[in-house]
Structure 1
């Protein structure tokens, strides 16, 4: 049963109700324009959730009049032949290099969301280590719990330290009890609430008493930020224990649709033709996938190049450092990992949280300084916090 809706929410849904008869075109146009205007009005105050709003794809409007479906593996031809697979392959190859992987040794595809990419990576790990349990920190994204449940695999939740990083000592203690089973460990690059970046080297060492270690990197937010920090040369596939990576592309890059990259070492997949009527090999979870997402990602990455991604990351990190200083001056006790664009601070009044779309957990809130966030937006937030406190 769906939860009850407030009277306001019911009114909003009623406004978009679809009836038996077609609505007049003018009415549909008016509702659409109102929706767009309402969303754009929130953009200058969108501070607490990981989605870069700094993009423009209007030149691709013509794609909306085309059905673009990418069935099966990106490098496999299919009978329909109306796809954006060449663009998808270019995106996968570019990000594989960014993750210290060789394109010809990396399998990847554009998934519907980071949760699917996490499920794909953990499925590869569970296939490689059939007796192993899955380990994640208490700060890991909740999609890890879903994935473990779907695969009927036991999940061990390990304590995180006060900053949100997985505690290697706690991981080692439980892995010693699992000697010989192996360990599938989820390391997070920018945790949901605190933006912490797990120490992958320490995690691998801590898990080794269990035997063979498979690491899945949930780099949903950090995947396009961390490569341009001190961790750049050593993250991702630089460590042989890292078998798979999930990166939510709409977060740091910015797209009008949710999408993610699911990457793994090519040796972990064994492709075969799964449906003769399609005629494509398929190791993906999604089978048919959005070709539109591939077009959007290729367009954005081709226009930026890796140098543009790097500039965006440095700008976002600089804004995060500015936010940390400004929030400290506002007396909110901020916390930030040096390689993260997430700044955690004391939770302000509910009215401030709602106005600036702040994510909250207990008595703390956070801002995420993706490229659309400017210093002036941080200043406005700090002013609102101090004004509310003075009331």
Structure 2
């Protein structure tokens, strides 16, 4: 696909890519509509061998479930609550929640969860649970925390304390301890990240809990958007997630590690943090979710993918992604690009190449560094191709 800049989607431009899809007063010819969609699909498929920089696993296929496009599936309210419309996929949603809860060292009978629209929604849900439990607490996070946490704090009208990172990219627990000492007695709601956006750093939850203790009761929301389907298959498999009593909630973006045609995430929390009540008689369902009506199709697709792979398949995905990350470090180092990677991460950071290379491979960039994310669709040949382009004579010259 062309980038937004190439398509002219910039401030002040009167024309954009949307003009090609403008909807008029009268129907377009059916053939033209299908041609437009087919072209859109072809362009996205053509980009798959170059999609290296952003956390979305493209290794999936759901074409055998095309019949889902002709039905309406609406999960209204809590997954374990019946509702009057009864056109939901809640049994599948519950199965997905239970499986991932166990992967996160939780007990399904003691955990509340649902399939939400995004990791940002799941972060907002978890922070709302923590701030409801500790209404006087501030929210603490590191400078590397996903920006959705800033939005959540703003929406909740809560004070956000942003702390520096240590030399490894993790939250500076000494800075956290200092901040919490100043807020003694208020409690602390702390966001820990399993895979920070740019460097893939994994915060030390044990150290965070100890550092925040001077504020009083500690509630940790774990943003495991990327790491939630990777870390369980590392040496931290039995100690992450709900294994730590202070972890009250989790967010896991399922389209990142698993691979989905639509963004979706699991919002999980300890069941005692949720009050279930019928919110609208006309619906008839209890509802502690943020979305109320939720895409039942996402639950069906998640159930299908997880049933097809099983936990063993998830582990195979994770191990392949970690192995590819190791290969990327070796290959990028041989190319003189100064790569850096955290041990349990599938994000590899390296020196930022020319802009045309960043665009071709959809590299995420920050300052003088770029990164790739070695999700299961990423092959060693894709990394080889990236390095060949970078080392090509004249590669530093920006191409039009």
TM range (shorter): over 0.9
The equivalent position to 1:70 in structure 2, one of 62, 75, 79, is 75
Name 1:212's counterpart in structure 2.
217
Helix, strand or coil: the match of 1:202?
A: helix
Match of 2:5 in 1: none
Shift of 1:162: 3.1
Structure 2 unaligned spans of 5+: 1-8
Pair 1:4-2:11 in alignment: yes
Q: Which runs of 5+ in 1 are unaligned?
A: none
- 2:159 aligns with 154
SS at match of 2:279: strand
Give the superposition deviation at 1:175: 0.7
1:317 aligned partner:
322
1:239 maps to which residue? 244
After superposition, the C-alpha distances for 1:232-281 in whole angstroms (9 at most, x for unaligned) are 11000000000000000000000000000000000000100001000000
Q: CA deviation at 1:96?
A: 0.1
State the partner residue of 1:122.
Answer: 127
Runs of 4+ in 1 over 4 A off after TM superposition: 388-391
CA displacement 1:206-252 (0-9 Å, x = unmatched)? 11111100000000000000000111110000000000000000000
CA distance in 2, matches of 1:121, 1:84: 23
Number of the residue aligned with 1:249: 254
The match for 1:107 is: 112
Cross-structure match for 1:224: 229
CA distance in 2, matches of 1:6, 1:335: 39
Question: How many Å separate the matches in 2 of 1:81 and 1:233?
Answer: 37
Shift of 1:3: 5.9
Flag the 1:390–1:78 CA change in 2: closer, same or farther, 3 A: closer
1:1-391 equivalences in 2 (<5 Å): 4=11, 6=13, 10-387=15-392, 388-389=394-395
Q: What is the alpha-carbon distance in structure 2 between the residues aligned to residue 178 and residue 100 of structure 1? A: 31
Q: CA deviation at 1:5?
A: 5.6
TM-score normalised over the length of structure 2:
0.96
The Cα of 1:6 is off from its aligned counterpart by 4.5
TM-score calculated relative to the size of structure 1: 0.98
RMSD: 1.1
**Size of the alignment, in residue pairs?**
388
In the TM superposition, residue 307 of structure 1 has moved relative to its aligned partner by 0.3
Shift of 1:386: 1.0
Contact conserved, 2:353 with 2:390, CA < 8 A, in 1?
Answer: yes
Pairwise CA distance, 1:197? 0.5
Tell me if the contact between 2:354 and 2:396 (Cα under 8 Å) persists in the aligned partners: no
SS, match of residue 189 in structure 2: strand
